[in-house]
Amino acid sequence: MLEGLGRNRFLRRGLLLGPALFVIGFFMILPLFLMAYVSILERGLAGGVQWGQHTLEAYVRFLFERDLMDNLVVNIDYLRIFGRSFALAFGTMIVALAIGLPTAFYMALQPARWRNLLIFLVTIPFWTNLLVRNYAWILLLRDSGLVNSGLIWLGLTDEPVRLLYTPFAVGVGLTYSFLPFMILPIYASLEKLDLRLVEAAYDLGANKWKALTRIVLPLALPGIAAGSILVFIPALGAYVTPELLGGSRQLMIGNLIQGQFGAARNWPFGAALAFVLLAIVLCSMMLYLLRFRRAPGQG
Amino acid sequence: MESVSEAAIEARRLTKVFDGPGGEVRALDNVDLIIRKNEFFTLLGPSGCGKTTLLRLVAGFEQPSGGELLMDGEAIAERPPHRRPVNTVFQSYALFPHMTVAENVGFGLEMMGRPREEIGQRVERMLALVKLEGMGPRRPNQLSGGQQQRVALARALANQPKVLLLDEPLSALDFKLRKEMQIELKRLQSETGITFVFVTHDQEEALTMSDRIAVMSDGNVLQIGSPTEIYEHPTSRFVADFIGETNLLTGRLSERMASSLRFELDSGGLLEGQEDGGNETGARVTLAVRPERAEISREGSGLAARIEQIVYFGTDTHYHLRLDEQTPFVVRHQNRSGATSRFSQGEEVRVTISPDAIRVLQD
C-alpha cells in the first residue's frame, strides 16, 4: 500500500506527517493560543474569563499594583517569586552537574557489559511516581525523619534541624528528581568520545588534568549543555516538589500559576504568568544555545 | 657527534601479554630489537602480529609484561606517555575536532609551556613543512583525508620528538595520495633527521620507504634487514611469502659439487643452486624463487611445466604454471616487446631458474 502512495509524494508526506502535526497542533499550538487569548481577557468574578472583553491588566499586574487612588505602584512580590524559582532551578542545575558529571564519567569508563546495567540503575527512580518519591523525601527530611534521627544519634545535634519546608528541601527534591536528565546526556556524549583523542593528548605531553580540561570536557560540552537545559527548565516550572517539600513559604512559579487558576480565580493572570515564564525561558535558551553553538560536530 | 649506529630504541626480550576472553594472548614474545638513530625503521606484518602493540609500548600507552625497553640507553617502561620524547601519528589521525588546525599543531608546544609567540611561529613553520600554509584557522573536519594526515604529521613533529611513531598512517588514503605521502614522509624524515618508526601491513610501502624493516608474525620478529636483504634473502617461509610473490618448492639437498649444489625437487626435476642454508647433504629443504627471476621457454633443459593461465598486467605478464600437474609456479615476464604473449594457455614449457635466484629457507 505504501508503494502505491509513493507515486504521490505530497500525499505520502502528508500521511506520514499527519499524526505528528495533529498532536502538535491540537495538544500544543492550540492550547498555547488559547492561553495567550485568556491572558488578555477580563477575569471572571467567580473564575473563568469574560469572553470578548480585552485588557492587558494581567501583564500590568505582574509588576504593579493599584493603590486606593487607582495609581500604579511597583510591586516586586511576583518578581521575587520568579527570582527564587530561577535561583532554585539554577542551584539544582549546578548541583546536578556536580553530581552528574563524575557519575557519567564513571559510567562511561566501565566495561561495556556493565554500562547498560548502570544506565538501568540510573533510570530506576522513574519507575515510581514523582508524587510518591517526593512524599518519601518528606519522610526522610521531617523532624522525626531518618536524617534528623541519624544526626541526633551521631550526637551532632540535640534537637531536630529544620530541613523540611525550607529551600534546602526543595533543592534536594528537585536535584533528586532531575539528576538522571543530567547524567544521561553527559554519559551519551562521553560514551561516544574517541579515547584515541585522549591518548593523542597524552602523547603530545598533556597530563591527566590537561587532557580532561582541554579534550574531554570540551568534547562533552554538547552533553553538558543538553543535560543542563533538561534539568533547568523542568526545575524552573516545578510544581509538585515545592508544593510538598517547600510548604506555603517556598512558593515557586509553578505553584503561583496553579494558585491563580485555583484559589485566586484569576485565570488571565495565571495565563499571563505562564507566558512571562515562557518568554524568559525562550530568551535564556537562546542565549545558552548561542554560547554553545560552536560545540563541535563529532565524527 | 653521536654515531649513526647508536640505538634510539632498544627492546630486550620485550613481552606483552593481554588477557583476552579466550585466555592469554601473547602479543609480543621475547622481542629483541634495535632501532638506530635517524633511521626510517618499519615494523611490517599482518594484522595481529604485534607491530602495533610494540608501537604502543614505545609510546607508553601500554606497559610491558616482561623484558626491557630502552630509549637512548635509558629504561623508559615506567615513564608515562607525556614524559617521553616520542610522538605518534595515529592511524585515525586523532585530530582534536574542537580545535583549529593551528591549535592542533600547537597543542604539544602549549603543553610544554612554550610562549605564545614561539608557538605561533613554530606552527607556521610546521604547516609550511607539510605544505598546509594558510590552513591554520580551519577545523579538521573542513579538510580532506590527505590534509588531515598532514596536520597529524605536523602536530606530531611540532614537539621535535627524538622518535616519531607512525601507526599505519597511510592506510585510509587512496592509492594516488598514498604514493604522494610515501615520498613526502621520506622527505620529512631526511629533512628533520628524526628517527621514524613506521608500522604497516603493506609490504610495498615498507620496501619503498624504509632503511630497515623488521618482519613480524605472531608476536615474534622473524627477520630484520634492509629492503633488499628482506626481499632478496628471506630466511623463512613466512617472510618469503609475505614480502612480494614467491614460488615455494620443496625437495632435498641431493648433491654437493665443486662450485654448486644440486636440489632434487618433490615435483620431479633437478635445480642447481649456490647456497645450502646451513643444511647437510640429504636434508629436506624449502626453496624460494621470485617470479621475476624465472624464465620460460619452449625447449631446453629446465623444469617441465604446463601453462594454466596467462594474466596480462600491462607492464608485465604473469604465467601461472603447474610443475608435474600439481605444484603451482608463477613466472613474471616483463613486456619489453609488444603486447602479444609468446605463449598460449595449455602449452608445455620449460622453466629455467638461475642458480643465484634460489633461496634456501630456514624452516
For chain A, which domains are there? 78-292 (1.10.3720.10)
Average pLDDT, integer, range B332-358: 84
Say if residue A140's pLDDT is above 60.
Answer: yes
Average pLDDT, integer, range A149-169: 86
* A101 closest CA partner among A250, A251, A231: A231
| A229 in contact with chain B, both atoms CB, cutoff 8 A | no
Question: Chain B residue closest to A205 (CA)?
Answer: B82
In this complex, which of A197, A206, A221 lies closest to B82 when CB atoms are compared?
A206
Beta carbons of A167 and A89 less than 8 angstroms apart:
no
Distance CA B253, CA B285 (A): 7
| B92 in contact with chain A, both atoms CB, cutoff 8 A | yes
Domain formed by B249-361, architecture: Beta Barrel (2.40)
Say if residue A250's pLDDT is above 80.
Answer: no
| B311 in contact with chain A, both atoms CB, cutoff 8 A | no
Judge: A218–B92 Cβ closer than 8 Å, yes or no.
no
Judge: B82–A207 Cβ closer than 8 Å, yes or no.
yes
Which residues neighbour A280 within 8 Å (Cβ) at sequence distance 6 or greater? A82
pLDDT band at A6 (very low <50, low <70, confident <90, very high): low
| A19 in contact with chain B, both atoms CB, cutoff 8 A | no
Q: What is the pLDDT of residue A26?
A: 92
Q: So where are chain B's domains?
A: 7-240, 249-361
In this complex, which of B82, B94, B96 lies closest to A205 when CB atoms are compared?
B82
| B196 in contact with chain A, both atoms CB, cutoff 8 A | no
Average pLDDT, integer, range B218-230: 94
Judge: A194–B159 Cβ closer than 8 Å, yes or no.
no
Radius of gyration over every alpha carbon of chain A, rounded to an integer in angstroms? 24
Beta carbons of B275 and B359 less than 8 angstroms apart:
yes
Q: What is the pLDDT of residue B180?
A: 87
Beta carbons of B263 and B252 less than 8 angstroms apart:
yes
pLDDT band at B339 (very low <50, low <70, confident <90, very high): low
| B198 in contact with chain A, both atoms CB, cutoff 8 A | no
Q: Which residues of B touch A206 (CB under 8 A)?
A: 82, 107, 111
Q: Which residues of B touch A214 (CB under 8 A)?
A: 107
Count CA within 13 A, CB hemisphere, residue A220: 28
Percentage with pLDDT > 70 across chain A: 95
Task: Report CA torsion sign: B231, B237, B239, B243.
Answer: positive
Q: What is the pLDDT of residues B266-296, one digit of tens each?
A: 888 888 888 888 888 888 999 999 999 999 9
Q: What is the pLDDT of residue B336?
A: 81
Give contacts of A 43-62 with B, CB under 8 A: none
| CATH number, domain B7-240 | 3.40.50.300
Q: What DSSP letter does each residue of B68-132 carry, written as one string?
A: EEEETTEE-TTS-GGGSSEEEE-TT----TTS-HHHHHHHHHHHTT--HHHHHHHHHHHHHHTT-
Q: Which residues of A touch B112 (CB under 8 A)?
A: 205
Q: What is the pLDDT of residue A125?
A: 84
pLDDT band at B4 (very low <50, low <70, confident <90, very high): very low
Amino acid occupying residue A271: A
Judge: B108–A194 Cβ closer than 8 Å, yes or no.
no
Interface test with A, best of B111, B138, B159, B165 (most A CBs within 10 A): B111
Task: Report CA torsion sign: A81, A83, A84, A89.
Answer: positive
Q: Which residues of A touch B155 (CB under 8 A)?
A: 204
Question: Torsions phi, psi of B178, nearest 5?
Answer: -65, -45
| A295 in contact with chain B, both atoms CB, cutoff 8 A | yes
Q: What is the pLDDT of residue B132?
A: 92
pLDDT band at A127 (very low <50, low <70, confident <90, very high): confident
Question: Chain B residue closest to A292 (CA)?
Answer: B98
Q: Which three cell numbers stand for residue B158?
A: 611540532
* B6 closest CA partner among B38, B42, B32: B38
Amino acid occupying residue B329: F
Percentage with pLDDT > 90 across chain B: 63
* B107 closest CA partner among B131, B142, B82: B82
Give contacts of B 1-40 with A, CB under 8 A: none
Q: What is the pLDDT of residue A152?
A: 87
Distance from CA of B203 to the nearest CA of A (A): 26
Judge: A295–B111 Cβ closer than 8 Å, yes or no.
no
Judge: A203–B80 Cβ closer than 8 Å, yes or no.
no
Residue B243 backbone zone (phi > 0: left; psi -120 to 50: alpha; other: beta): beta
Judge: B94–A194 Cβ closer than 8 Å, yes or no.
yes
pLDDT band at B65 (very low <50, low <70, confident <90, very high): very high
pLDDT band at B21 (very low <50, low <70, confident <90, very high): confident
Q: What is the pLDDT of residue A298?
A: 38
Distance from CA of A233 to the nearest CA of B (A): 27
* B150 closest CA partner among B125, B110, B185, B107: B185
Q: What is the pLDDT of residues A76-116, one digit of tens each?
A: 889 999 999 999 999 999 999 999 999 999 999 888 889 99
Say if residue B258's pLDDT is above 90.
Answer: no
In the block, residue with C-alpha cell 605564545: B116
Amino acid occupying residue B218: D
In this complex, which of B92, B96, B112 lies closest to A205 when CB atoms are compared?
B112
In this complex, which of A205, A219, A296 lies closest to B111 when CB atoms are compared?
A205
Interface test with A, best of B19, B79, B82 (most A CBs within 10 A): B82
Q: Which run of H or of E encompasses B250?
A: strand B247-256
